[in-house]
Amino acid sequence: MSDWISFWDTSHSVYVNARHLEAHYRRIADDLLCYVRTDAGVLDYGCGEALSHERIAAAAERLVLSDAAPGVRESLTRRYAGNPKIEVMAPEQLDALPAGSLDLIVMHSVAQYLNGGELYERLRLFRRLVKPNGLLIVGDIVPPKVSPITDAGALLKFAAKEGFLMAAVLGLIRTAFSDYARLRSTIGLSRYREEQMVERLAAAGFSASRAEHNIGHNPARMTFLAWPR
């Protein structure tokens, strides 16, 4: 995972402009809000810039943002310094949280950058942290047959709706020659069929099913809802 962490901790062209970045995180927050209770303790693991997460914090009692990239955490700390509901933690700091202390845990668009052992470690951590009646959401799982062309098509459709289509076209060209494309072709992405992801969640102590819709803009990817057993 280290090369992917380094990539996300640098300036990159995955988000083609400020409008794309804002629309991306707004869409994620929109999709997550229906799962947030007013008394909930929430963890977003691998949250990225989390530009719209003040809305999630407003709906919840507590929001923990965790990202493996140090530069991203510094940005989050500056952005939410004045919000008493939001805490920023490195992944290793999560080990100190009490068992059963969180109502909702989200890991969106992270599993594809983890190998099988790394994914299991995270899922077991989440199993310890989530309350017996809590919920784990694992989003943006990449099925085996979803190609970069499919991902590009989903981005262009989203860009047309959100008003950055030309920037998206140019951004896809830049990305094709970027470190992201190099890492995707050398390290690759972890991919799972629906039944494989349910089995991996079961091995970590969850009962799981695929959600009707994926979180975010890409309908070719999958989101899973998981409850502790």
Q: What are the pLDDT digits (tens) for 121-141?
A: 999 999 999 999 999 999 999
Burial of 206 (0-12, 13-18, 19+ CB in 10 A): buried
pLDDT on residue 2:
59
pLDDT on residue 176:
84
**Greater pLDDT, 113 or 179:** 113
Question: Cα 30–163–35 angle (5° rounding)?
Answer: 5
pLDDT on residue 182:
82
Predicted confidence band at 177 (pLDDT cuts at 50, 70, 90)? confident
151-163 pLDDT, tens digit per residue, is 999 999 999 999 9
Taking 90 as the threshold, does the pLDDT of residue 12 lie above it?
no
Name the DSSP class of 98.
Answer: P
Contacts of 48 by beta carbon, 8 Å cutoff, 6+ apart: 8, 25, 67, 72, 109
Give the residue-averaged pLDDT of 94-112.
97
50-92 pLDDT, tens digit per residue, is 999 999 999 999 999 999 999 999 999 999 999 999 999 999 9
**The total number of residues written for the chain in this structure:** 229
Taking 90 as the threshold, does the pLDDT of residue 179 lie above it?
no
Q: What value does the mean pLDDT of the chain take?
A: 94
194-209 pLDDT, tens digit per residue, is 999 999 999 999 999 9
10-19, 21-30, 84-93: least confident range: 10-19
Phi-psi region of 40 (alpha: psi -120 to 50; beta: other; left: phi over 0): beta
Predicted confidence band at 1 (pLDDT cuts at 50, 70, 90)? low
Collapsed DSSP state (helix, strand, coil) of residue 28:
helix
What structural domains does the chain harbor?
A: 2-228 (3.40.50.150)
Predicted confidence band at 212 (pLDDT cuts at 50, 70, 90)? very high
pTM: 0.94
53-57, 63-67, 105-109, 182-186: least confident range: 182-186
